[in-house]
Homo-oligomer: A and B are copies of this chain.
Amino acid sequence: MPAVTFTVLKRDRSTGARLGRLTTPHGTIETPVFMPVGTQATVKTMTPEEVAGLGAEIILANTYHLYLRPGADIIREAGGLHRFMHWERPILTDSGGFQVFSLADLREISDEGVTFRSHLDGSIHFLGPAESMAVQEALGSDIAMAFDECVAYPASPEEVAAGVERTSRWAEACLRAHRREDQAVFGIIQGGTIPELRRRSAREITALDFPGYGIGGLSVGEPKELMYSILEELQGYLPENKPRYLMGVGSPDCLIEGVKRGVDMFDCVLPTRIARNGTVMTTYGKLVVRNAAYARDFRPLDPECDCYTCRNYTRAYIRHLLKAEEILGLRLTTIHNLHFLIKLMQRLRQAIAEGRLEEVAADFYERYNSGKI
């Protein structure tokens, strides 16, 4: 029996959206799903119980960060990442590839992998498909991602093509290296914003018959419309019966547009990162609660929200906490933002089930863009 199985429960009639169910060794996930990010084996500021309490069914952890600190050995000795961090639901780990290309210095890329300097202490490391698989097996995530090359945006067609070739070779190497039967490996499709290269990458990667597919190399600086058109382009090239994971995407509009274009899984640091900068998402758009305008505003962040933060605290208090650099402020905004996105995904799933996706999406946009904060 494969580590994960995916079932499409319903297809939307007027868009590419799908309602699905992904079963993993640590539990079942209703899709489309947003995965909160727990980069360093913790969803920043939150306990696992709080993350689960928001309705999160799966989180993402970062192989690059955990490989460097505390190291894969310690997590293996702890009994794996689930036990180490006290999270019993599914975990997806990325491959480390994206961080090696975006965070580390002194990258030397060869066909075997990448030599890089740690962004923490400057030490030299090597990560390739075999190493990434070994680390992810030590972490014991439910879903591991293949080691890929994410080319920066913009890049020349030659660079993008080279990235596609390397990603395909590394995908095969990952499958050869991978051992754990209680862990699935998803392939990753690259190809930048060049339709022909996207199609080629999709053909080559899906030929390897992974149980799921990541769409990498998007949301890296290109215009949103370009990302949407690539997602449309890809729809015909991805198997209908496998989950599709749009990596690094997490703004409400991109989640909605991704869902409409057949995406089943998303992850992004956006909700937790902007929360720590004092920005929250509300029914009526973004609100920078740090602003002086909210010093005496005794309403909740979002009057239509029923999260712990909005049930118990005012904008004035949260602003005070953020200005005073109190950790509770970061906790409260993080809870609210994650709740906002998880609830949005719940509404999108329900809308697909009821055949009302476009109506629900239009209603969301109308209020979110109204500026009536």
Contact = CB atoms under 8 A, between A and B. Distances in A.
Contacts of A74: 295-296, 316, 320
Contacts of A237: none
A84 interface: yes
A327 interface: yes
Interface string A227-262: 000000000000000000000000000000000000
Interface in A1-55: 40-42, 44-47
A328 interface: yes
Q: Which of A295, A323, A328 has the most CB of B within 10 A?
A: A328
A298 interface: yes
A367 interface: no
A298 B86 contact: no
A324 B69 contact: yes
In the complex, which of the residues A45, A298, A320 has the most CB atoms of chain B within 10 Å of its own CB atom?
A320
A85 interface: yes
How many protomers of this protein does the assembly include? 2
A317 B41 contact: yes
A316 B75 CA distance: 9
A86 B41 contact: no
Contacts of A295: 70, 74
Q: What band does the interface of chain A fall in when counting residues whose beta carbon is under 8 Å from B?
A: 20 to 34
Contacts of A153: none
A328 B46 contact: yes
A46 B85 CA distance: 19
Given A313-B86, A317-B78, A317-B84, A328 B70 contact: no
Given A86-B313, A312-B86, A313-B86, A45 B320 contact: no
A296 B71 CA distance: 11
A353 interface: no
Contacts of A46: 328
B327 A331 contact: yes
Interface string A89-119: 0000000000000000000000000000000
A314 interface: yes
A326 interface: yes
A139 interface: no
Contacts of A319: 70
A159 interface: no
Contacts of A145: none
A78 B42 CA distance: 34
B313 A78 contact: no
8 contacts: A44-B328, A47-B328, A47-B331, A69-B324, A70-B323, A84-B317, A86-B312, A327-B331
Interface of A: 40-42, 44-47, 65, 69-70, 74, 77-78, 84-86, 295-296, 298, 312-314, 316-317, 319-321, 323-324, 326-328, 330-331
